[in-house]
Amino acid sequence: MTSSTKPSDAPGEAAGAADAVQQRIIKKYPNRRLYDTRTSSYITLAEVRKLVMAAEPFVVRDAKSGDDLTRSILLQIILEEEAGGAPMFSEAVLANIIRFYGHSMQAFMGTYLEKNIQSLMEVQAKLAEQSPVMQGMMGSYLEQSKSAFAQMQEQMQKQTEQVMTAFGMKR
């Protein structure tokens, strides 16, 4: 539900030419409502999803503390998408992702997933431009994915060897 009523505690922010270049600021209030400072109106999570889909740069801030809540809002959007219609992640994939938290490979896994998703998006964009070369691009994506996975395996092996050496258990 979008309303053009501005909350009394929201600082006045002019929508001008400078705002068009700056990151859009969404404020989250204690009542869970989201306030778009650019349009001076409340917006829904579905409208935030539209900003994501349009690649509109934005940040979600707690209205009182100023803390960055963008990640939690994005996770909330993913949760809603997964709960409705056709989920993207199987239970096995979600369980495996959870297993990486607290693991020595946690940071690498995030980078690995990010690079693979970026590669897939690049392939998708190229496919939209040139459908006939689809097979070549898919091969390129698969090679990039294979290479990233091999790097992850190599890093895991090195870390395992370091741990074993540290405990005097050489392989």
Inter-axis angle of helices 106-129 and 91-100, nearest 10: 130
CB 115 within 8 A of CB 100: no
Structural domain spans, the chain = 17-83, 91-166
- Rounded Cα distance between 56 and 123, Å, is 21
Residue 62: strand pairing partners: 28
Q: Hey, CA dihedral for 116, 121, 125, 131, is it positive or negative?
A: positive
Model confidence at 9: pLDDT above 90: no
Q: What is the pLDDT of residue 159?
A: 76
Model confidence at 5: pLDDT above 50: no
- Rounded Cα distance between 25 and 103, Å, is 34
- Rounded Cα distance between 14 and 16, Å, is 6
Q: Which of 33-37, 79-83, 117-121, 159-163 has the highest mean pLDDT?
A: 33-37
Has this prediction a pTM greater than 0.75?
Answer: no
Model confidence at 18: pLDDT above 80: no
